[in-house]
């Protein structure tokens, strides 16, 4: 596999996080936007299908290996919601597309619910070329529970409501370096690196 990989995302924070870990394996990442690749559609009902669609899209348009992720929050009492719709949870219910609206909608959906167990989920897909029949797939879960009152100023998305009992803090209260070392994305990246080492890249 080429040591230059296109990331099927325009999220600068995500690119920094991926680059920090994969750079140690000698892999140079480039954001798809720098290569003129538009964002892919994400029409699927599962994280892995969306990530695979994004990876194949970027690989097809650049001729490079491509890395994509799809991630979100899954709440046990809501049968896995918001899941793949995490970024537009409130919008799908007729509200606006924003972190604040998503969090308000989630808290409202959980009123009267005692089981607040949830987890952040991330799946990473790496394709060597657009038609790769055996993409590398790695996943990570970060377990916590949902609290009604937001806490913390770091992070994004549902982080102010995602409480980690073992740390006695929400994800938004964690120092970014601590979060990045423990998060669902970090767990998935570690698993991907193990797969790359196993396959000799």
Q: Which are the catalytic amino acids?
A: 70
What 3-state class would DSSP assign to 75?
strand
Long-range contacts of 170-177 (CB under 8 A, 24+ apart): 171/120, 171/144
Alpha helices in 23-81 (DSSP H): 47-62
Strand pairing category for 66-75 and 28-31: unpaired
Residue 176: CB atoms within 10 A of its CB come to 12
Strand partners, 73: 120
Tell how far CA 152 is from the center of its chain.
20
Strand partners, 48: none
């Amino acid at each position: 596999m080429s040591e230059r990989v296109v990331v099927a995302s325009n999220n600068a924070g995500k690119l920094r996080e991926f680059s920090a870990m994969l750079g140690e394996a000698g892999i140079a990442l480039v954001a798809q936007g720098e290569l003129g690749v538009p964002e892919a559609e994400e029409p699927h009902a599962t994280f892995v299908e969306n990530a695979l669609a994004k990876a194949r899209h970027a690989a097809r348009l650049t001729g490079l290996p491509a890395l994509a992720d799809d991630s979100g929050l899954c709440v046990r009492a809501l049968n896995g919601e918001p899941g793949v719709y995490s970024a537009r949870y409130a919008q799908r219910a007729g509200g606006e597309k924003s972190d604040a609206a998503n969090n308000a909608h989630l808290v409202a959906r959980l009123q009267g619910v005692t089981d607040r167990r949830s987890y952040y989920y991330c799946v990473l897909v790496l394709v060597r070329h657009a038609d790769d029949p055996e993409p590398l797939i790695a996943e990570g879960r970060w377990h916590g529970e949902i609290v009604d009152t937001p806490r913390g100023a770091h992070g994004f998305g549902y982080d102010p409501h995602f409480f980690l009992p073992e740390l006695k803090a929400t994800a938004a209260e964690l120092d970014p370096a601590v979060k990045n070392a423990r998060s669902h994305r970090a767990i998935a990246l570690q698993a991907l690196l193990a797969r790359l080492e196993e396959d000799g890249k």
